[in-house]
């Protein structure tokens, strides 16, 4: 066998075909990736918890299984997982000094699924503290850099994973998303990412806690990132299934994609609100893709779910619910201080954030009632449409901020204007609040050579529809490009 026929930028599906045909061994494929990690990871700091010895053992076991004719969806494939995901015998720090030495005694659902499928885990990728930023910099592991420009963020919170994918360190990554944490890094690094339907993939098994689910949580999900939409579907299929404790009866049957031709898709292009600052090149990429889809035969019209209006009220609900969830671990006196800081920031949605921070149990339940109205609006909407096309970021990847600088005080420069950092939540929230599946995909580069990405939002529990839509666009218009420094 020879390892020269593949490089580490090959699609995961191509790597698996080569493994099954014995064109390359799992050990050889692992060595290709470890060599690239050794050469490229020091500048990127993307993989921060390596597991190379166990990876070699797993690759050797995969080769033996392949020789016996055994099958597995990921058998012999090197992969990475987000640092927040619990893996037996590895640390889970979520970028916090307080939990820097916590070691999981068991696999979370994602770790268990990929191991069962035969994956070879290279290691875990970097995150911001508590997964709460659009850059991946923490006091435990330091800063991850974007392979397109080391002076810029790869995004967060799955920033290490997106950077590793874009630089060819891994063919498949699993991350998580509640504020765009899969989709924003995918856009910033020029790769694909899928935020699944809220109940399609188990949500537990993250943070330094046992993998038991918490029924009181909402919106946060775990899902795949890859360099092609086809690889996204592979990653989705491996991880999809029941939450912990529901295996005895719960079965998932995701419908086939609604269409197999771009020309058959009914695409609604989100009407962009005037109050939301969006970089001119992001806006132009969005308009250009809508036009390209129309010329490819798809039905494309500007539309949004009923009641979404200019998105202000929608974002207030999302901001409050998100903040309530993220403040759940903070003692009452700490929450009061956070709410005061939020109000003092004077931000566009500062009061909505503060209300979430201070929310009572009754107010939390009321937020869920309002969320259900949005979910119902999406159900009606997707009777007429197949895809809601929207930007996922208000700007391309931005330069690193000092981690000690408060996010409430940070400003982005967009079209010559100084813009609130926290407004980056608005576009991810369009899919997150209602738990819709959303696939982020690349759409070219800015004039300065930075990746641009959009998102395709689909009907609930019809994840194959936005993934297939992204795959068809990849075939028609192109997709992932290697960063120039890594060609």
Overall domain count for the chain: 2
Tell me the pTM: 0.98
Give 177-232 pLDDT, tens digit per residue. Answer: 999 999 999 999 999 999 999 999 999 999 998 767 898 999 999 999 999 999 99
* Distant-in-sequence, close-in-space partners of 342: CB < 8 Å, separation ≥ 6: 323, 350, 351, 353, 354, 357, 408
Q: How far apart (Å, rounded) are the C-alpha atoms in residues 431 and 445?
A: 24
Integer CA distances (angstroms), 89 to 105, 214, 339, 422, in order: 6, 23, 38, 36
Instruction: Based on the fold, state whether residues 231 and 345 are members of the same structural domain.
Output: no
DSSP state of 5: S
Q: What is residue 329's predicted lDDT score, i.e. its pLDDT?
A: 85
Average of pLDDT values for 75-89? Answer: 98
Q: What is residue 1's predicted lDDT score, i.e. its pLDDT?
A: 39
* Average predicted confidence (pLDDT) for the chain: 96
DSSP state of 85: B
Give 355-378 pLDDT, tens digit per residue. Answer: 999 999 999 999 999 999 999 999
Tokens 């500062």 label which residue?
350
Q: What is residue 210's predicted lDDT score, i.e. its pLDDT?
A: 72
CB 324 within 8 A of CB 357: yes
Task: For residue 341, count other CB atoms closer than 10 A to its CB.
Answer: 16
* Structure tokens given for 224: 């795949």
pLDDT at residue 3 tops 60? no
As beta bridge partners, residue 399 has: 152
| Closest listed residue to residue 221, CA positions, set 237, 238, 243 | 243
Q: What is residue 436's predicted lDDT score, i.e. its pLDDT?
A: 98
* Structure tokens given for 121: 């885990």
Instruction: Based on the fold, state whether residues 132 and 275 are members of the same structural domain.
Output: no
Tokens 């998580």 label which residue?
176
pLDDT at residue 2 tops 60? no
Average of pLDDT values for 270-294? Answer: 98
Instruction: Based on the fold, state whether residues 332 and 465 are members of the same structural domain.
Output: yes
- Polymer length of the chain: 487
* Structure tokens given for 313: 């009220």
Q: What is residue 153's predicted lDDT score, i.e. its pLDDT?
A: 98
CB 312 within 8 A of CB 275: yes
Average of pLDDT values for 432-436? Answer: 98
Give 137-172 pLDDT, tens digit per residue. Answer: 999 999 999 999 999 999 999 999 999 999 999 999
Instruction: Based on the fold, state whether residues 268 and 342 are members of the same structural domain.
Output: yes
Instruction: Based on the fold, state whether residues 272 and 153 are members of the same structural domain.
Output: no
Q: What is residue 212's predicted lDDT score, i.e. its pLDDT?
A: 78
Radius of gyration of the CA atoms of the chain, in A:
21
H or E element that contains 46: none
Instruction: Based on the fold, state whether residues 197 and 289 are members of the same structural domain.
Output: no
Share of the chain above pLDDT 70, in %: 99
Write the CATH number for 289: 3.90.1300.10
Instruction: Based on the fold, state whether residues 276 and 221 are members of the same structural domain.
Output: no
pLDDT at residue 84 tops 90? yes
Q: What is residue 164's predicted lDDT score, i.e. its pLDDT?
A: 98
Instruction: Based on the fold, state whether residues 211 and 133 are members of the same structural domain.
Output: yes
Average of pLDDT values for 320-336? Answer: 93
Q: How far apart (Å, rounded) are the C-alpha atoms in residues 444 and 159?
A: 19
Share of the chain above pLDDT 90, in %: 96
Count helices and strands in the chain by DSSP H and E runs: 14, 15
As beta bridge partners, residue 445 has: 451
* Distant-in-sequence, close-in-space partners of 160: CB < 8 Å, separation ≥ 6: 45, 46, 47, 48, 82, 83, 125, 126, 127, 136, 144, 154
CB 448 within 8 A of CB 486: no
To the nearest 10°, report the CA torsion of 439, 445, 451, 457.
Answer: -20
Domain range for 220: 12-239
Q: How far apart (Å, rounded) are the C-alpha atoms in residues 409 and 105?
A: 39
Q: What is residue 6's predicted lDDT score, i.e. its pLDDT?
A: 87
Q: What is residue 5's predicted lDDT score, i.e. its pLDDT?
A: 66
289 in a structural domain: yes
470 in a structural domain: yes
Give the pairing of strands 192-195 and 438-445.
Answer: antiparallel
Instruction: Based on the fold, state whether residues 193 and 268 are members of the same structural domain.
Output: no
Q: How far apart (Å, rounded) are the C-alpha atoms in residues 378 and 374?
A: 6
């Amino acid at each position: 066998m020879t390892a020269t026929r593949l490089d580490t930028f090959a699609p995961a599906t191509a790597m698996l075909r080569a493994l099954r045909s014995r064109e390359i061994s799992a050990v050889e494929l692992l060595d290709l990736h470890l060599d690239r990690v050794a050469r490229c990871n020091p500048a990127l700091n993307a993989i921060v918890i390596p597991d190379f010895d166990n990876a070699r053992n797993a690759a050797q076991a995969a080769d033996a299984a392949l020789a016996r004719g055994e099958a597995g969806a990921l058998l012999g494939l090197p992969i990475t997982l987000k640092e927040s995901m619990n893996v037996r015998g590895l640390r889970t720090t979520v970028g916090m000094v307080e939990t820097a030495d916590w070691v999981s005694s068991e696999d979370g659902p994602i770790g268990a699924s990929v191991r069962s499928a035969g994956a070879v885990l290279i290691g875990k990728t970097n995150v911001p503290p508590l997964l709460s930023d659009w850059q991946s910099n923490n006091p435990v592991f330091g800063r991850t850099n974007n392979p397109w420009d080391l002076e810029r963020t790869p995004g967060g919170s799955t920033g290490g994973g997106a950077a590793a994918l874009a630089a060819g360190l891994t063919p498949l990554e699993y991350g998580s998303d509640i504020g765009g944490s899969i989709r924003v890094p995918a856009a910033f690094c020029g790769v694909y990412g899928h935020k699944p339907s809220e109940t399609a993939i188990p949500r537990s098994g993250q943070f330094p806690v046992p993998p038991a689910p918490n029924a009181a949580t909402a919106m946060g999900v775990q899902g795949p990132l890859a360099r092609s939409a086809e690889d996204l579907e592979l990653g989705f299929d491996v991880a999809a299934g029941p939450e912990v404790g529901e295996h005895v009866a719960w079965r998932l049957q995701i419908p086939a994609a609604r269409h197999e031709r771009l020309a058959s898709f009914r695409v609604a292009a989100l009407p962009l609100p005037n109050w939301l600052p969006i970089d001119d090149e992001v806006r132009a990429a969005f308009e250009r893709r809508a036009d390209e889809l129309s010329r490819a035969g798809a039905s494309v019209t500007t539309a949004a779910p009923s009641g979404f209006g200019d998105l202000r009220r929608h974002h207030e609900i999302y901001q409050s619910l998100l903040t309530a969830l993220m403040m759940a671990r903070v003692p009452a006196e700490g929450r009061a201080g956070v709410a005061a800081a939020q109000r003092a920031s004077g931000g566009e949605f500062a009061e909505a954030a503060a209300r979430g921070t201070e929310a009572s149990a009754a107010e939390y339940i009321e937020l869920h009632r309002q969320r259900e109205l949005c979910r119902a609006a999406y159900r009606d909407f997707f009777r007429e449409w197949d895809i809601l096309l929207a930007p996922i970021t208000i700007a391309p990847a931005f330069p690193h901020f000092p981690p000690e600088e408060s996010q409430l005080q940070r400003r982005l420069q967009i079209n010559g204007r100084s813009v609130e950092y926290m407004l980056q939540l608005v576009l991810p929230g369009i899919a997150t609040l209602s738990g819709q599946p959303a696939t982020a995909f690349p759409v070219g580069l800015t004039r300065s050579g930075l990746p641009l990405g959009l998102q395709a939002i689909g009907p609930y529990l019809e994840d194959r529809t936005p993934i297939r839509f992204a795959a068809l666009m990849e075939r028609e218009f192109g997709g992932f490009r290697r960063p120039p420094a890594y060609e």
